[in-house]
A and B are shown apart, each in its own frame.
Chain A
Amino acid sequence: SQKIEQNSEALNIQEGKTATLTCNYTNYSPAYLQWYRQDPGRGPVFLLLIRENEKEKRKERLKVTFDTTLKQSLFHITASQPADSATYLCALGGYSSASKIIFGSGTRLSIRP
């Protein structure tokens, strides 16, 4: 069955460093991969999408890579700030509008001052 794993439940890093989160998947050939941010008590908020034929995407301090051979995406936050502390979810989507978007269980990122 399809499976998405995010490397760790929690990640703690020092402010100013680069945070790197990992998303691995099996038994799936996604058309695209998305990253969402979820704050406590709130719904997930979309951050970035990367398609299967793209290697890298950037948006301000965020960078996402996608390796369909390794079946892995890396999500980087450069110059991290305490305000970046949240849970980050990766999600995979298929080719048709009827394809479900499936989520990983998330990584809780804490940036300490």
Chain B
Amino acid sequence: DTAVSQTPKYLVTQMGNDKSIKCEQNLGHDTMYWYKQDSKKFLKIMFSYNNKELIINETVPNRFSPKSPDKAHLNLHINSLELGDSAVYFCASSLTGRDTGELFFGEGSRLTVL
């Protein structure tokens, strides 16, 4: 009964390719996020959606395009992959108004661009 699940867990691809990472949560949360964790373990927010509406859009290249078909799903599509895109991408979800504001994270998708 995985709460936040991401696929694929590992992704190895060549520069210039296009790839997608999918995320689904079964917690009934209304907000979902994409975070990027680089080699120094720094976790940086990229996007956030609340009820399918984009509410946070950090300074991320246009090659990254999130899509939320419904509030339980948030996908990330990356065009023209570059070496610097290599990182672990984490999906997370939360419930607006929840007292703790805690984020529930997926297990991460490790992207390696060669």
Contacts and interface: CB of A to CB of B under 8 A. Distances in A.
A101 B107 contact: no
Contacts of B102: 34, 46, 49
A112 B35 CA distance: 31
B100 A49 contact: yes
B68 interface: no
Interface residues on A, range: 20 to 34
A97 B43 contact: no
Interface residues on B, range: 20 to 34
Interface stretch (B12-20, B50-58, B70-78): B50-58
Contacts of A106: 41-43
Nearest to B40: A105
A34 B101 contact: yes
A69 B55 CA distance: 30
Given A98-B55, A98-B56, A100-B56, A46 B41 contact: no
